[in-house]
Amino acid sequence: MNKKIIVLLVLILSALSIMAISVWGSLPESNNLPSVVSIKITDFDLQNADGDKIKSIKDQVSEEDYIYKIPFTVTPINADSKIKVSTNQPGITARVDEMESIVYVIFDLTKIGTTVTVTIWDKNTQIKDEVTLMFLPPDQIIIDDPNIF
Amino acid sequence: MLRRLFILTMIQLSSKMKLKITNKKRFIANLALRFLGLVIISVVMVLMLYFLNDVLYVPVNVYFVIFVLFITQLASIISCTTGLMVDLYESKDNSILLSFPAKHDEVFTSKLAVFYINEFLKNLSFLIPLLIAFGSISNLPFTYYLNIISMVFILPLLPVLLAAIISIPIMYIRQFLRVHNTLTMILLIIAGVFVFLGLSGLLDEIPTPIRIVALYNKFITSVTLFMQSSSKYASIYGVIGRLLYGINVLSNYGIVMGVIIVLLGLVVLISRPLFFRLASHTQEYAVTKKHCGRNKMSKSLFWTFFKKELTISMRSSNEMISNYVLLILFPFIVYVLNYIYIGIDRSTFGTKLVIAFDIMISLLLVTASNTASATAISVEGSEFVLLKTAPSDTKKMAWAKVAFNMIASTLIILLIFILFQLSLPQFSATDIWLMFVVVIFVNSGHILWSFQIDLLNPKLSDYAATASLSNNENVSKSIIIGLALSIIFGGATAFLLIENYVTGWIRIIALAVIFFVARFYLFTNFLKVYFREIEF
């Protein structure tokens, strides 16, 4: 037994204590929170006739800067939400920060240049919004081409 | 030259590992077992990576590999630097090796070779199975595994070469700080303030009331982003990661080789010439202080020994810091934990649990800092015999040591609790000071108990021979007792406070006082009987 083991024990005990207090020692959360009414991705360049959103990320994602941020809004602000996010391409992963209302899209080095559709949805109500990220300048994107999506 | 280098390396290696093959069958069985161990580690790594990728949704991709490479190699650089600082410049075998019929450069190179072999073996049992696991779950091509073979030899070389260069300025800084104790303390306080401000800034980011599930998701997202974005700053390890994944293989190999050549050049030009100078100019010859000795009659024997403890701790502040290192961590841990506890919407039951956990964690950290008491007699080493021949009641030395440890420990704990109250004004001040009373009594009792352990079984001859306290069984016993006390008092606090808050506090403080009085009584009696029995 030495001091390093004690530090490890303290860290484990600290994590356990937080879990114990939040499970047995916290007040029940309010059940009166409203449901999600809408999820909206606000940062996009083009929108086609079907309402599909397209964003050009040609100059924003590169080998040095491979994480792209998508801000979104959830209404009402205090909604009882469980936000999830997915992409339609393997090698391109997305993570959501519900507190900051931002989705981070991480491009694998071999996937930079690949078009990807990112879907954000609420697990409780299944309300969703999506955006397609493309590596083309906005003026070269044909918005009603069905092959894009 | 190569033969001399080989002999020097083998001499040093033989003191660190078993090299002689006495039984061929046993050797082969050992090798087979080690290979099986590697296969098992690789399988465990694959499962771990599946868990990360498919359960926690942390992407296991090239950036993740770079992050893992960076972190593991950073740990290797730190361990090699601290190891080389001792092995190159302060090792006791220097006087033997440098007297051999070999050049100083050969001794220097052999020391680096020993470190390279150690790193090589470490990588073989951890990093390589991990890289194989990455390849397996990412379905990487055969060339990936071929690149791993070259990395088996390249990766251990980088931390050793870097450490050989970094260890020189760090060695100079360490030697400077060793003789400037006040400056060390000031730097430590400044570092502490910066860490505290950094922690406060991080904690302010957490929205209150804290929802643990949301916080957990935020934490996993932040960790993922940190891992994924840190590969931008991984420099040479970013290049190695890309190389492994088959991206610009030739040019990346060129960069890696270039870096190794530059590092080798720096080692040859800077570290090699300084090695002999630093190795032959150790700390004991660097003392320049000139004390004017004055014989002064002391009125009290206890006060004389107490002043001696004070002087020793002032002169060797590094040792004092290493004894009380957990008390330095204490305010940071207490602050972070209680900030989170307070942020949770707690019930009355939750508030009582908070106090119980606070007492448990405080006692765990505080009692583990009483190692100085658990080695108080042992550290006297061979001087203890001289001390006992003094025509006086030398038992007072024990009381002086106990008193010094209790006062130092109590003052530090008092300072921590004042900081606790100032930094978390939302926390009930009454609860903070009642906790303080419990911690102080239990800690004082534990100091007496730790001292008693050393009194009954002092390691005077061990310390006289090695001047080291590592693997000291009295220290282990003291820490284990502290752990048991923390669990008992933490559990008792939870039980008594839940039963009745007001009488619970009275009973828990009474228990702490009874514990202290019992330890005081036992210590006094043990000291009376056993102190004169202590022999070298």
Domain boundaries, chain B: 27-284, 308-533
Per the CB < 8 A criterion, the answer to whether B239 and B231 are in contact is no
Q: Which of A7-21, A36-50, B264-278, B405-419 has the lowest mean pLDDT?
A: B264-278
pLDDT at B177: 81
DSSP at B238? H
| Spatial CB neighbours of B270, under 8 Å, sequence gap ≥ 6 | B165, B168
| B59 vs B436, more confident | B436
Per the CB < 8 A criterion, the answer to whether B333 and A10 are in contact is yes
Calculate mean pLDDT across residues B343-367: 89
Considering all CA atoms of chain B, what is the largest pairwise distance in Å, rounded to the nearest integer?
82
| Cα separation, B45 vs B394, whole angstroms | 58
| Cα separation, B413 vs B416, whole angstroms | 5
Amino acid present at B129:
P
DSSP at A120? E
| Nearest Cβ partner for A21 among B245, B341, B371 | B341
Mean pLDDT of chain A: 83
Alpha helices in B22-103 (DSSP H): 24-50, 62-84, 94-97
Chain A: closest CA distance from residue B415 (Å):
21
Preceding amide of B207 cis, omega within 30: no
What confidence tens digit (pLDDT) does each residue in A80-121 have?
888 889 998 888 888 888 888 899 998 888 888 888 999 999
- Structure-token match 């752990």, residue found: B483
Calculate mean pLDDT across residues A1-17: 84
pLDDT at B488: 94
Interface residue B532 vs chain A (CB under 8 A)? no
Considering all CA atoms of chain A, what is the largest pairwise distance in Å, rounded to the nearest integer?
69
pLDDT at B211: 73
Residues 306-345 of B with CB under 8 A from A: 325-326, 329, 333, 336-337, 340-341, 344-345
| Cα separation, B482 vs B488, whole angstroms | 10
- Helix or strand or coil: residue B61? coil
Calculate mean pLDDT across residues A30-52: 82
Q: Does the distance separating the beta carbons of B329 and A24 come in below 8 Å?
A: no
Interface residue B232 vs chain A (CB under 8 A)? yes
Question: Which segments within A57-101 are labelled E, that is strand?
Answer: 67-75, 83-87, 92-97
Max mean pLDDT range (A132-146, B3-17, B518-532): B518-532
Confidence of residue B386 (pLDDT cuts 50, 70, 90): confident
Calculate mean pLDDT across residues A116-144: 84
| B61 vs B525, more confident | B525
| Burial environment of residue B485 by CB neighbours within 10 A (0 to 12, 13 to 18, 19 or more) | buried
pLDDT at B62: 83
Calculate mean pLDDT across residues B338-346: 84
Q: Which of A80-84, B95-99, B461-465 has the lowest mean pLDDT?
A: B461-465
Interface residue A144 vs chain B (CB under 8 A)? no
Amino acid present at B287:
V
Nearest CA in chain B to A92: B59
Portion of chain B with pLDDT greater than 70, in percent: 93
- Chain B residues with beta carbon closer than 8 angstroms to that of A104: 221, 224-225
Residues 47-76 of A with CB under 8 A from B: 64, 66-67
The tokens of A55 are what?
């964003």
- Chain B residues with beta carbon closer than 8 angstroms to that of A110: 247
pLDDT at B132 over 70: yes
Confidence of residue B445 (pLDDT cuts 50, 70, 90): very high
Mean pLDDT of chain B: 84
Dihedral angle of Cα B381, B386, B389, B392, to the nearest 10 degrees: -90
- Chain B residues with beta carbon closer than 8 angstroms to that of A97: 217-218, 221-222
| Cα separation, B445 vs B45, whole angstroms | 45
- Helix or strand or coil: residue A104? strand
Residues 467-486 of B with CB under 8 A from A: 475-476, 479-480, 482-483
The tokens of B526 are what?
């043990």
Interface residue B207 vs chain A (CB under 8 A)? yes
Chain A: closest CA distance from residue B483 (Å):
8
User: Alpha-carbon torsion B137, B141, B144, B149, what sign?
Assistant: positive
Amino acid present at B344:
I
pLDDT at B361: 92
What's the domain count of chain A? 1
Nearest CA in chain A to B339: A18
pLDDT at A146: 60
Confidence of residue B285 (pLDDT cuts 50, 70, 90): low
Does residue A11 lie within any of the structural domains? Answer: no
Confidence of residue B289 (pLDDT cuts 50, 70, 90): low
Chain A: closest CA distance from residue B268 (Å):
34
What confidence tens digit (pLDDT) does each residue in B210-262 have?
777 777 777 788 888 888 888 778 788 888 888 888 888 889 899 999 999 99
pLDDT at B470: 64
Strand A116-122 versus strand A53-56 pairing type: unpaired
Q: What pTM value is reported for the model? A: 0.70
pLDDT at B443 over 90: yes
pLDDT at A31: 65
Interface residue A20 vs chain B (CB under 8 A)? yes
Q: How far is CA B449 from CA A142, B76, B443, B471, B485, in A?
A: 80, 38, 10, 19, 11
pLDDT at A32: 75
Does residue A107 lie within any of the structural domains? Answer: yes
| Cα separation, B236 vs B159, whole angstroms | 12
Confidence of residue B16 (pLDDT cuts 50, 70, 90): low
Interface residue A15 vs chain B (CB under 8 A)? no
pLDDT at B442: 95
Max mean pLDDT range (A25-34, A51-60, B314-323): A51-60
Interface residue B10 vs chain A (CB under 8 A)? no
pLDDT at B416 over 60: yes
Chain B: closest CA distance from residue A93 (Å):
7
- Structure-token match 């590094």, residue found: B318
What confidence tens digit (pLDDT) does each residue in B43-90 have?
888 898 888 888 777 788 888 888 888 888 888 898 888 888 877 777
- Helix or strand or coil: residue A78? coil
Q: What's A85's domain CATH number? A: 2.60.40
Domain with A63, as residue range(s), is 38-148
pLDDT at B56: 76
DSSP at B267? I
Q: Which of B198, B246, B241 is nearest to B68 (CA)?
A: B241
Chain A: closest CA distance from residue B219 (Å):
9
Calculate mean pLDDT across residues B112-125: 86
Q: Does the distance separating the beta carbons of A7 and B329 come in below 8 Å?
A: yes
Calculate mean pLDDT across residues B526-535: 81
| Nearest Cβ partner for A21 among B63, B346, B371 | B346
pLDDT at B433: 93
Contacts across the A-B interface (CB distance below 8 Å):
126
pLDDT at B290: 61
Q: Does the distance separating the beta carbons of B368 and A3 come in below 8 Å?
A: yes
Max mean pLDDT range (A14-28, B66-80, B385-399): B66-80
Which helix (H) or strand (E) segment holds residue A9: the answer is helix A3-24
pLDDT at A36 over 80: yes
Q: How far is CA A67 from CA A94, B243, B262, in A?
A: 9, 21, 33
Calculate mean pLDDT across residues B381-389: 76
DSSP at A113? T
pLDDT at B293: 66
What confidence tens digit (pLDDT) does each residue in B35-45 have?
888 888 888 88
Portion of chain B with pLDDT greater than 90, in percent: 18
Q: Which of A31-35, A109-113, B485-489, B497-501 has the lowest mean pLDDT?
A: A31-35
Confidence of residue B329 (pLDDT cuts 50, 70, 90): confident
pLDDT at B282: 57
Q: Which of B302, B257, B265, B328 is nearest to B395 (CA)?
A: B302
